[in-house]
């Protein structure tokens, strides 16, 4: 890093990265640690002590007195339990941090959801250092803590977190790709996955937020009539960023840069008060950890600026919700496999990986859908700004044509007009600019990567990325197996494959495309026609979380995860249980919150308005004034009717909340919706001074 960059950004200052390793560790130990990090090798236990010692000194030089193993439990947030370096030895206080402290932790973590894997009285969970994600310093107003990214497992080795399966899925993909690359005559190397996670969020003035129990307890507004102006004028997207928001963004970026997170892009999003932060892409596991820190930082810094940062997928009805586009790519030995390259051999490899991805997404659309399921995202997927709940692939016109020609081409025979022959034809240059992008697709090819747009703004990237890696590992593995069976690879070198190799590959890819091209859809995903067309194509369409999560109960899916060593059947089962329970709890919290707001805040306000109106009416009549009485009567009837509907709506919601039937959540949601319709209509009839909740027009505009 140049001095100039360092001074301007303080980049990586709070990360135990290359520079800190060189400064705080001996040359030998530094080398061993670097190898562990770069090659993902297990840590040499003989150096753990020195590494721990070095990390402690580095952390203490930055004001840290405590350390914590930082992990990603199944709650979807991050977890930390701090211990101080302070120990009393022979009556003397000293600062200590051992190799064991660094490598394993035993948090008494019995209260984290485990989906039956570990009951509270059984063995405790343990955290294990993940050296591929560097330790970092978390600062607070009067101190700092050393954070060590870890995986969290039960003593049986079963995963209790979101990081472990991600790391395993990367290994699975590496194994499959290594098998394929050998057939392509490429030297053995390491598979890398990359992720750039675009983060959307809303800001709201903290004062308004405090007055909205729904935002405080559930993250979204359960009531609120639309503001006269919303996003109709499309004047917010990429608009001038208000000064106070910009200074918030600046602070966020400064914090992120210190943590070595390459925050790159910032802009206004489509909905008023909605914004986006995009980092430059990084290695997948690191990028996934970093996104968790991005969300933390957004929330923390917002406080200092008098804002609250809303990461919920749909904080406001009627305007866009927030997503987290996962830009994903895979490389081998550093070479991006989703970059078509320039010669026929590179093209052949690109097309193979592309076909594998198409095959994977078609075969396992249900798992991808399940990986983005959640109570919040249900309000977004399928609504008209977000990708639909049907998982399909967008390739762009040019690549779609390439695939078409490849599928039609007949290997072995002479090239027909309009067909494409692997190993012979060169692909046209594919556009990488944003103009060719289709924003309605949940899974889009964007020049040299895929953009998975279905993940919601609050999701932990590791879930969807674990599924993507695993299903692609399976497809690559299958194609490699077919190629091996064809016995055509021989001693081929890159660029020197025999026609037999190319013919066999062509046949394999054609068969794959024939079976799976139905998942490719280049049209407009928002059109009402698409779900019908998707149904004709046999593509699954799970409209809500419970139906999406059934994918995790299918035997063939358990087999898939087990075969590729990503999750055991029990681990998968536990996740299904955890996610379903989380969904049910969230819906119930929302239901109870809506009921309480309606009965404790809205009902009294409406009663007050009603009373005032009928009193005015009675008074006018009693003094013999007739003008105004028809308006007062009309208002009284309107408010009175609303009042009746309100009482009924609250009762119905209360009943739905006390039902314990399996479909209770659906009933709660529909009772909430009905109640909302009533309340939102009343908002337009009750005087502003009496209305107990800040309105959309107040909350959505920040100046
Ligand atoms: P857009 O909003 O048009 O999708 P952005 O520039 O906001 O584009 O975001 C694109 C994201 O994709 C960035 O985070 C970028 O770093 C990331 N990206 C670019 N190339 C790759 C790649 N090879 N692998 C993963 N992510 C990538
Ligand atoms: Mg994008």
Atom index in ligand 1 nearest the CA of residue 279 equals 14
- 10 and 62 share one domain: yes
Domain range spanning residue 105?
A: 3-161
* Ligand 1, pocket-test mutation among 192, 197, 198, 280, most atoms within 8 A of CB: 198
- 189 and 128 share one domain: no
Question: Is residue 130 in a domain?
Answer: yes
Distance from the CA of 469 to the center of ligand 1, in angstroms? 18
**Distance from C-alpha of 462 to C-alpha of 381, rounded to nearest angstrom:** 19
Band the pLDDT of 660: cuts 50, 70, 90: confident
Question: Is residue 145 in a domain?
Answer: yes
Evaluate if residue 91 carries a pLDDT over 80.
Answer: yes
Would you say 604 and 681 are in contact if contact means Cβ atoms under 8 Å apart? Answer: no
Question: Is residue 135 in a domain?
Answer: yes
The response to whether residue 327 sits with its C-beta less than 6 Å from ligand 1 reads: yes
**Distance from C-alpha of 492 to C-alpha of 87, rounded to nearest angstrom:** 62
* Confidence (pLDDT) at 122: 60
- 251 and 108 share one domain: no
Only one residue has tokens 């959309």, namely 696
Number of residues in the chain? 703
The response to whether residue 261 sits with its C-beta less than 6 Å from ligand 1 reads: no
Question: Is residue 181 in a domain?
Answer: yes
CA distances, 515 to each of 341, 362, 509 (Å): 26, 9, 10
In this structure, what token pair is assigned to residue 388? 């639909």
Distance from the CA of 434 to the center of ligand 2, in angstroms? 9
* Ligand 1, pocket-test mutation among 262, 266, 278, 323, most atoms within 8 A of CB: 278
Question: Is residue 608 in a domain?
Answer: yes
Kindly state the average pLDDT of the residues 410-416: 46
The response to whether residue 449 sits with its C-beta less than 6 Å from ligand 1 reads: yes
Evaluate if residue 680 carries a pLDDT over 50.
Answer: yes
Atom index in ligand 1 nearest the CA of residue 280 equals 16
Atom index in ligand 1 nearest the CA of residue 446 equals 4
Question: Is residue 549 in a domain?
Answer: yes
The response to whether residue 419 sits with its C-beta less than 6 Å from ligand 1 reads: no
What pLDDT, in 10s, does the model give residues 257-298? Answer: 999 999 999 999 989 999 999 999 999 999 999 999 999 999
- Closest residue by Cα to atom 11, ligand 1, is 196
Give burial (CB, 10 Å; 0-12/13-18/19+) of 255. Answer: buried
Evaluate if residue 119 carries a pLDDT over 80.
Answer: no
- 155 and 285 share one domain: no
Closest of 420, 435, 447, 182 to residue 339, by C-alpha? 447
Evaluate if residue 27 carries a pLDDT over 70.
Answer: yes
The response to whether residue 448 sits with its C-beta less than 6 Å from ligand 1 reads: yes
DSSP secondary structure code for residue 520 in this structure: B
Residue 106: CB atoms within 10 Å:
13
Question: Is residue 573 in a domain?
Answer: no
The response to whether residue 195 sits with its C-beta less than 6 Å from ligand 1 reads: yes
* Most confident residue range from 96-110, 345-359, 374-388, 519-533: 345-359
Mean pLDDT (the chain, rounded):
92
* Confidence (pLDDT) at 372: 98
- 113 and 175 share one domain: no
Distance from the CA of 335 to the center of ligand 1, in angstroms? 17
The response to whether residue 329 sits with its C-beta less than 6 Å from ligand 1 reads: yes
The response to whether residue 337 sits with its C-beta less than 6 Å from ligand 1 reads: no
User: Taking the chain, what is the end-to-end CA distance rounded to the nearest angstrom?
Assistant: 37
- 595 and 686 share one domain: yes
Atom index in ligand 1 nearest the CA of residue 339 equals 23
Distance from the CA of 325 to the center of ligand 2, in angstroms? 6
Closest of 260, 57, 51, 40 to residue 151, by C-alpha? 40
* Confidence (pLDDT) at 386: 73
The response to whether residue 630 sits with its C-beta less than 6 Å from ligand 1 reads: no
**Distance from C-alpha of 405 to C-alpha of 513, rounded to nearest angstrom:** 11
* Confidence (pLDDT) at 428: 78
Band the pLDDT of 439: cuts 50, 70, 90: confident
What CATH code is carried by the domain that includes residue 272?
3.30.590.10
* Confidence (pLDDT) at 169: 98
Evaluate if residue 450 carries a pLDDT over 90.
Answer: yes
Evaluate if residue 596 carries a pLDDT over 50.
Answer: yes
What pLDDT, in 10s, does the model give residues 552-569? Answer: 999 999 999 999 999 999
- 144 and 197 share one domain: no
Atom index in ligand 1 nearest the CA of residue 281 equals 16
Distance from the CA of 499 to the center of ligand 1, in angstroms? 37
Structural domain ending residue among the three candidates 567, 599, 629: 567
Distance from the CA of 12 to the center of ligand 1, in angstroms? 21
What pLDDT, in 10s, does the model give residues 605-656? Answer: 999 999 999 999 999 999 999 999 999 999 999 999 999 999 999 999 999 9
Angle between helices 344-363 and 462-486 (to 10 degrees): 120
* Confidence (pLDDT) at 593: 98
Kindly state the average pLDDT of the residues 425-435: 70
Structural domain ending residue among the three candidates 567, 595, 628: 567
Would you say 176 and 56 are in contact if contact means Cβ atoms under 8 Å apart? Answer: no
- 382 and 407 share one domain: yes
The response to whether residue 599 sits with its C-beta less than 6 Å from ligand 1 reads: no
Kindly state the average pLDDT of the residues 384-406: 89
* Ligand 1, pocket-test mutation among 449, 464, 469, 472, most atoms within 8 A of CB: 449
* Confidence (pLDDT) at 415: 46
The response to whether residue 605 sits with its C-beta less than 6 Å from ligand 1 reads: no
Atom index in ligand 1 nearest the CA of residue 336 equals 23
* Confidence (pLDDT) at 412: 41
What CATH code is carried by the domain that includes residue 682?
1.20.120.1560
Structural domain ending residue among the three candidates 102, 137, 161: 161
What CATH code is carried by the domain that includes residue 73?
3.10.20.70
Atom index in ligand 1 nearest the CA of residue 338 equals 23
Phi and psi torsions of 517, nearest 5°: -70, -15
* Confidence (pLDDT) at 410: 57
All residues at 6 or more sequence positions from 486 whose CB lies less than 8 Å from its CB, including other chains: 500, 504, 508
The H or E element spanning position 548 is helix 545-549
Kindly state the average pLDDT of the residues 200-212: 98
Ligand nearest to the CA of 446: 1
Distance from the CA of 323 to the center of ligand 1, in angstroms? 14
Question: Is residue 198 in a domain?
Answer: yes
Evaluate if residue 118 carries a pLDDT over 70.
Answer: no
- Closest residue by Cα to atom 7, ligand 1, is 278
Distance from the CA of 206 to the center of ligand 1, in angstroms? 31
Distance from the CA of 158 to the center of ligand 2, in angstroms? 35
- Closest residue by Cα to atom 3, ligand 1, is 434
The response to whether residue 434 sits with its C-beta less than 6 Å from ligand 1 reads: yes
**Distance from C-alpha of 14 to C-alpha of 384, rounded to nearest angstrom:** 41
Distance from the CA of 381 to the center of ligand 1, in angstroms? 21
The response to whether residue 280 sits with its C-beta less than 6 Å from ligand 1 reads: yes
- Closest residue by Cα to atom 17, ligand 1, is 196
Band the pLDDT of 416: cuts 50, 70, 90: very low
Give burial (CB, 10 Å; 0-12/13-18/19+) of 67. Answer: buried
* Confidence (pLDDT) at 238: 83
* Confidence (pLDDT) at 417: 46
Provide the percentage of residues in the chain whose pLDDT is more than 70. 95
Indicate the number of domains in the chain.
3
Band the pLDDT of 411: cuts 50, 70, 90: very low
- 414 and 537 share one domain: yes
Kindly state the average pLDDT of the residues 303-324: 97
Q: pLDDT: is 535 or 231 the higher one?
A: 535
All residues at 6 or more sequence positions from 447 whose CB lies less than 8 Å from its CB, including other chains: 430, 431, 432, 433
Distance from the CA of 377 to the center of ligand 2, in angstroms? 17
Band the pLDDT of 491: cuts 50, 70, 90: low
- 365 and 489 share one domain: yes
**Distance from C-alpha of 138 to C-alpha of 147, rounded to nearest angstrom:** 7
- 588 and 451 share one domain: no
Distance from the CA of 448 to the center of ligand 1, in angstroms? 9
CA distances, 611 to each of 618, 623, 641, 693 (Å): 10, 18, 13, 20
The response to whether residue 269 sits with its C-beta less than 6 Å from ligand 1 reads: no
* Confidence (pLDDT) at 37: 87
- 157 and 49 share one domain: yes
């Amino acid at each position: 890093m140049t001095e100039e960059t360092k001074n301007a950004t303080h980049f990586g200052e709070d990360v135990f990265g290359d520079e800190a390793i060189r400064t705080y560790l001996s040359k030998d130990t530094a080398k061993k640690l670097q190898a562990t990090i770069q090659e993902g090798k297990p840590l040499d236990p003989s150096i753990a002590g020195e590494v721990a010692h070095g990390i402690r000194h580095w952390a203490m030089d930055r004001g840290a007195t405590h350390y914590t193993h930082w992990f990603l439990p199944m709650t979807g947030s991050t977890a930390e339990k701090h211990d101080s370096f302070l120990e009393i030895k022979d009556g003397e206080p000293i600062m200590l941090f051992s190799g064991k402290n660094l490598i394993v932790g035993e948090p008494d973590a019995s209260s984290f959801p485990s989906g039956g894997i570990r009951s509270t009285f059984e063995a405790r969970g343990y955290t294990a250092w993940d050296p591929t994600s560097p330790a970092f310093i978390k600062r607070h107003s009067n101190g700092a803590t050393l954070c060590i990214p870890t995986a969290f497992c039960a003593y049986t080795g079963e995963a209790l977190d979101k990081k472990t399966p991600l790391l395993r899925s990367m290994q699975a993909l590496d194994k499959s790709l290594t098998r394929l690359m050998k057939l392509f005559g490429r030297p053995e190397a390491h598979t890398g996955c990359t992720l750039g996670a675009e983060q959307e969020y809303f800001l709201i003035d903290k004062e308004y937020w405090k007055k909205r129990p729904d935002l405080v307890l559930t993250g979204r507004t359960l009531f609120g009539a639309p503001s006269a102006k919303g996003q109709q004028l499309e004047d917010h997207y990429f608009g001038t960023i208000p000064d106070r928001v910009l200074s918030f963004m600046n602070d966020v970026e400064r914090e992120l840069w210190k943590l070595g997170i390459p925050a790159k892009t910032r802009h206004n999003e489509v909905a008023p008060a909605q914004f986006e932060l995009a980092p430059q892409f990084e290695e997948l596991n690191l990028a996934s950890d970093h996104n968790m820190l991005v969300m933390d930082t957004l929330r923390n810094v917002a406080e200092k600026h008098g804002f609250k940062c809303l990461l919920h997928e749909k904080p406001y009805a009627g305007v866009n919700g927030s997503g987290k586009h996962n830009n994903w790519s895979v490389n081998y030995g550093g070479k991006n496999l989703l970059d078509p390259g320039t010669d026929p051999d590179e093209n052949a490899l690109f097309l193979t990986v592309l076909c594998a991805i198409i095959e994977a997404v078609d075969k396992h659309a249900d798992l991808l859908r399940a990986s983005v399921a959640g109570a919040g995202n249900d309000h977004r997927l399928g609504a008209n700004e977000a990708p639909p709940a049907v998982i399909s692939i967008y390739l762009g016109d040019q690549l779609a044509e390439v695939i078409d020609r490849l599928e039609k081409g007949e290997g072995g025979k002479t090239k027909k007009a309009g067909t494409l022959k692997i190993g012979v034809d060169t692909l046209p240059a594919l556009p990488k600019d944003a103009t060719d992008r289709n924003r309605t697709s949940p899974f889009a090819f964007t020049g040299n990567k895929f953009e998975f747009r279905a993940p919601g703004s609050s999701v932990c990237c590791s879930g969807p990325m674990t599924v993507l890696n695993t299903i692609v590992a399976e497809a690559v593995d299958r194609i490699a197996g077919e190629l091996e069976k064809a016995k055509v690879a021989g001693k081929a070198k890159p660029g020197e494959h025999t026609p037999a190799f190319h013919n066999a590959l062509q046949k394999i890819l054609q068969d794959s495309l024939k079976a799976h091209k139905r998942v490719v859809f280049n049209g407009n995903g928002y059109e009402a026609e698409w779900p019908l067309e998707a149904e004709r194509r046999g593509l699954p369409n799970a409209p809500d979380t419970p139906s999406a999560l059934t994918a995790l109960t299918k035997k063939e899916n358990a087999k898939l995860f087990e075969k590729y060593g990503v999750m055991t059947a029990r681990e998968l089962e536990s996740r299904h249980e955890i996610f379903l329970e989380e969904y049910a709890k969230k819906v119930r919290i929302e239901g109870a919150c809506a009921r309480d707001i309606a009965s404790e805040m809205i009902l009294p306000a409406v009663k007050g308005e009603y009373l005032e109106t009928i009193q005015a009416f009675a008074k006018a009549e009693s003094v013999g004034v007739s003008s105004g009485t028809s308006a007062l009567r009309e208002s009284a009837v309107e408010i009175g009717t609303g009042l009746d509907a309100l009482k009924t709506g609250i009762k119905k919601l209360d009943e739905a909340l006390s039902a314990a039937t399996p479909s209770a959540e659906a009933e709660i949601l529909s009772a909430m919706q009905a109640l909302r319709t009533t309340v939102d209509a009343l908002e337009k009839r009750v005087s502003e001074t009496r209305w107990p909740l800040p309105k959309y027009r107040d909350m959505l505009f920040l100046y």
